């Protein structure tokens, strides 16, 4: 069956997606005070123009969009300062292509977000084709998928278009998924929004938060194979900068907002090393 026909039938028999929920058991706690001043811990947050103030009035909880899937470009661009303002408007870029395909092959019941990262994790995939493929992290599946750029449409149909109800269509979708090389993610990713060309707030606060995360990782001797730090492109909510997303290896994604360097050691202790969520910073 042609992929277009498969999608046509798949689209007509999918169920409405539930809001992405956390699969793990987490306890809500308040952020503990830093145990050490690293030199970055109490960095002063710069003053922003009146038009770009941090919003300290609105509640953070439920300030995110309920996503069916979140896709990370794990074969990303490390220089986050050079990222264009909008990847989706960059012709020929994998994020632009995926955005176009999402509009064509998915519906409003299955919203997904595709994010650039500064990560370069291609070495995790044996025989990765650097010249012709993208490595995509898929959440809440907790998978890394190697996707040849010529097969982006198939990836969208296989993973982003929803789950078929009809058993035969479900089997066909499973076959399409199995045609991609994939593996389970074995570590956490802690990603800080530092998309400087998109918004001055994330571009300014992000590096301050990242500097403290690096110090906190050193203090706690967190190995690279356990958790990796990186930057992520715009995820929504610049007014809540700094935005930090914790992608757990079990597929859970914990969104934090209004994170300052003084909160980082608490996030590392409670969320990265533990199974607790900082209540006052939690976006969803």
Last residue of a domain, one of 157, 184, 211: 184
- Of 173 and 9, the structure prediction assigns the larger pLDDT to 173
Cα(158)–Cα(175) distance, rounded to whole angstroms? 9
Please tell me which of 46-50, 139-143, 161-165, 239-243 the model is most confident about, judged by mean pLDDT. 139-143
Range of the domain at 269: 27-63+187-281
Check residue 10 and give its pLDDT.
Answer: 47
Question: Where residue 16 falls among pLDDT bands split at 50, 70, 90?
Answer: very low
Task: Please state, for a pLDDT cut of 90, what percent of the chain lies above it.
Answer: 67
Q: Are residues 174 and 232 in the same domain?
A: no
Residue 258 tokens, joined: 């209004």
Check residue 23 and give its pLDDT.
Answer: 87
pTM over 0.85: yes
Residue 1 has pLDDT above 60, yes or no: no
Question: Where residue 50 falls among pLDDT bands split at 50, 70, 90?
Answer: confident
220: three-class secondary structure by DSSP = helix
Residue 52: HSE in the Cβ half-sphere, 13 Å Cα cutoff: 15
Cα(49)–Cα(216) distance, rounded to whole angstroms? 30
Question: How many domains does the chain contain in total?
Answer: 2
Cα–Cα nearest to 152, from 136, 170, 171, 169: 136
Q: Are residues 14 and 152 in the same domain?
A: yes
Q: Is the dihedral of CA 208, 213, 216, 217 positive or negative?
A: negative
Q: Are residues 79 and 145 in the same domain?
A: yes
Q: Are residues 140 and 262 in the same domain?
A: no
Residue 11 has pLDDT above 60, yes or no: no
- pLDDT, one tens digit per residue, over 183-226 is 999 999 999 999 888 888 888 999 999 999 999 999 999 999 99
Last residue of a domain, one of 184, 207, 234: 184
Q: Are residues 199 and 276 in the same domain?
A: yes
Last residue of a domain, one of 151, 184, 217: 184
Q: Are residues 44 and 101 in the same domain?
A: no
- pLDDT, one tens digit per residue, over 240-277 is 888 999 999 999 999 999 999 999 999 999 999 999 99
What's the mean per-residue pLDDT of the chain?
90
Q: Check residue 282 and report its DSSP letter.
A: B
Q: Are residues 96 and 199 in the same domain?
A: no
């Amino acid at each position: 069956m042609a992929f277009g026909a498969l999608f046509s039938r798949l689209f007509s028999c999918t169920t409405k997606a539930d809001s992405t929920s956390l699969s793990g058991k987490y306890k809500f706690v308040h952020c503990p005070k830093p145990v050490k001043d690293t030199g970055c811990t109490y960095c002063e947050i710069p003053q922003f123009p009146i038009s770009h103030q941090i919003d300290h009035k609105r509640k953070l909880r439920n300030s995110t969009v309920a996503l069916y899937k979140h896709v990370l470009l794990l074969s990303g661009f490390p220089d986050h300062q050079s990222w264009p303002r909008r990847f989706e408007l960059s012709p020929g870029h994998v994020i632009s292509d995926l955005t176009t395909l999402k509009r064509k092959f998915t519906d409003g019941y299955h919203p997904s977000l595709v994010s650039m990262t500064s990560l370069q994790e291609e070495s995790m995939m044996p025989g990765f084709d650097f010249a012709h493929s993208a490595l995509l992290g898929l959440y809440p599946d907790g998978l890394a998928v190697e996707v040849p750029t010529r097969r982006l449409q198939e990836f969208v149909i296989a993973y982003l278009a929803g789950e078929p109800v009809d058993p035969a269509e479900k089997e066909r979708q499973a076959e399409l998924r199995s045609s991609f090389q994939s593996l389970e993610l074995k570590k956490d990713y802690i990603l800080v929004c530092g998309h400087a060309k998109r918004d001055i707030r994330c571009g300014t606060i992000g590096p301050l938060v990242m500097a403290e995360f690096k110090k906190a990782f050193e203090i706690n001797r967190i190995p690279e194979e356990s958790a990796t730090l990186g930057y992520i492109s715009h995820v929504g909510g610049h007014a809540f900068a700094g935005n930090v997303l914790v992608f757990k290896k079990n597929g859970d994604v914990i969104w934090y907002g209004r994170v300052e360097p003084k909160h980082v050691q608490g996030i590392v202790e409670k969320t990265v090393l533990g199974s607790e969520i900082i209540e006052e910073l939690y976006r969803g």
